[in-house]
Amino acid sequence: MHRRRVVVTGIGALTPIGNTKDAFWNGLVSGTSGAAPITYFDASKFKTQFACEIKNFDPLEHFDRKEARKMDRFTQYALVASDEAVHDAGLDLEKVDKARVGVIWGSGIGGLETFQNEVLNFADGDGTPRFNPFFIPKMIADIAPGMISIKYGFRGPNFATVSACASSANAIIDALNYIRLGYADVMVTGGSEAGVAKASIGGFNAMHALSVRNDDPKTASRPFDKDRDGFVMGEGAGALVLESLEHAQARGATIYAEVAGGGLSADAHHITAPHPEGLGATSVMENCIADAGVAVTDVGAVNMHGTSTPLGDVAETKALKEVFGEHLYAMNINSTKSMTGHLLGAAGAVEAISSILSIKHNIVPPTINHQTADENIDPKINFTFNTAQKRDVSVAMSNTFGFGGHNACIMFKKMN
């Protein structure tokens, strides 16, 4: 079967270290930490009192008050990031065939804060059911792609992917395949999450998943460091405009990179813990490499899932050694989460953008906050610790893994 080539023509980002794609990239390269004490609610009684929140985001700069009240923050983030991506792609909305433009969007949880607040308000009342009429559409994860399509009139394939922290990577892979197989010419894809809320911080604290380094939040996300103690909650959105190569060339679009392939797998092991030998991670990377049609030795950089958890970092590193062998020591490895925190369902999209911009700028962003080597992690691997490194990146890979054992991996290539 003929598969059309697919390219990236637009990028949008709203992250804890930058509210546009350019600001995000500058934050990455400079090694900026997005972690700080939580401002959205009083976290003084929580085990974790900090997170990577979006800074200086005022929804009224993007929506009128009436519209803003109809949307959970995860949908607001989706609309802002996708708007930047659509404009960055230079799509002529008067000329593009909107029936051939779709939206596939990922979110691991959706409107968690909306759900939390509605339930709290009901519990504080007298038992009379007084719920916001927008409660359900604000909460459901698929409202984000729906709202994006409504805004632009895009009538192509439209749905949400939900696979925990792999959600937006799954969305990008689905978008890639819909274009490859001819079901669409253009796809707006990515993911968003607004997970800094009482319910999520409390829930992840109960699992002992979050760092509790309250005395020094900026250094709390420290992938591969011996003293890591859990991930740091992040929030935000990442958006890509994908097009068939023919469609992009026909309209003279600027191309960032080619989406060479994607891989999927399951750990089939545990509801939250990774397979200790990284079997699912190994499979997903092998699947991605095969789908992309590249050699192992072609890959120059990998943006790891790298959450800063004791088990996850070790398991993923084992998988990298299994897949890449001796070539691993010639590569640059990094973890964007050391700066942004973990954006849950939006992580895959934001980290894919990091990989794409590494190809564009020939720079691999750092893994910050590394202080003490972990004896369980091979010291010969170049994790790009603490300082960005220049490198001619022709092929870059991005890993995302989610609770439930969901694994997704995407490969990007520099256009020849």
Active-site residue, from 52, 275, 288, 342: 342
Give the span between the Cα atoms of 334 and 308, in whole angstroms.
Answer: 12
Q: Is 247 a catalytic residue?
A: no
Cβ burial, residue 44 (10 Å; 0-12/13-18/19+): exposed
Distance of CA 396 to the CA centre of its chain: 15
Q: Crossing angle of helices 143-152/73-89, nearest 10°? A: 40
- In whole angstroms, give the CA distance from residue 323 to residue 68: 46
CB of 16 closer than 8 Å to CB of 234: yes
Angle, CA 109 vertex, CA 103 and CA 239 arms, to 5°: 35
Secondary structure (3-state) at 371: coil
Indicate the Cα dihedral angle 168, 393, 281, 82, nearest 10°.
0
Candidate list 305, 370, 406, 409, residue with the active-site label: 305
Active-site residue identified among 165, 247, 275, 406? 165
- The question of whether 305 is a catalytic residue gets the answer yes
Q: Are strands 301-303 and 395-402 parallel, antiparallel or unpaired?
A: parallel
- Active site annotation includes 342: yes
Concatenated DSSP letters for 156-172? S-EEEE-BTBTHHHHHH
Q: 114: closest CA among 98, 136, 146, 93? A: 136
Token couple for 67: 């519209």
| Strands 235-244 and 186-194, sheet pairing | antiparallel
β-pair type (395-402, 406-413) = antiparallel
Which DSSP category does 379 fall into?
A: T
Question: How distant is the alpha carbon of residue 327 from its chain centre?
Answer: 26
Evaluate whether 24 touches 13 at the Cβ level (below 8 Å): yes
Query: Which 8-state DSSP code applies to residue 276?
Result: T
Question: Is 235 within 8 Å of 194 (Cβ atoms)?
Answer: yes
Q: Residue 96 corresponds to which tokens in the numbers above?
A: 């593009």
Catalytic residues: 165, 305, 342
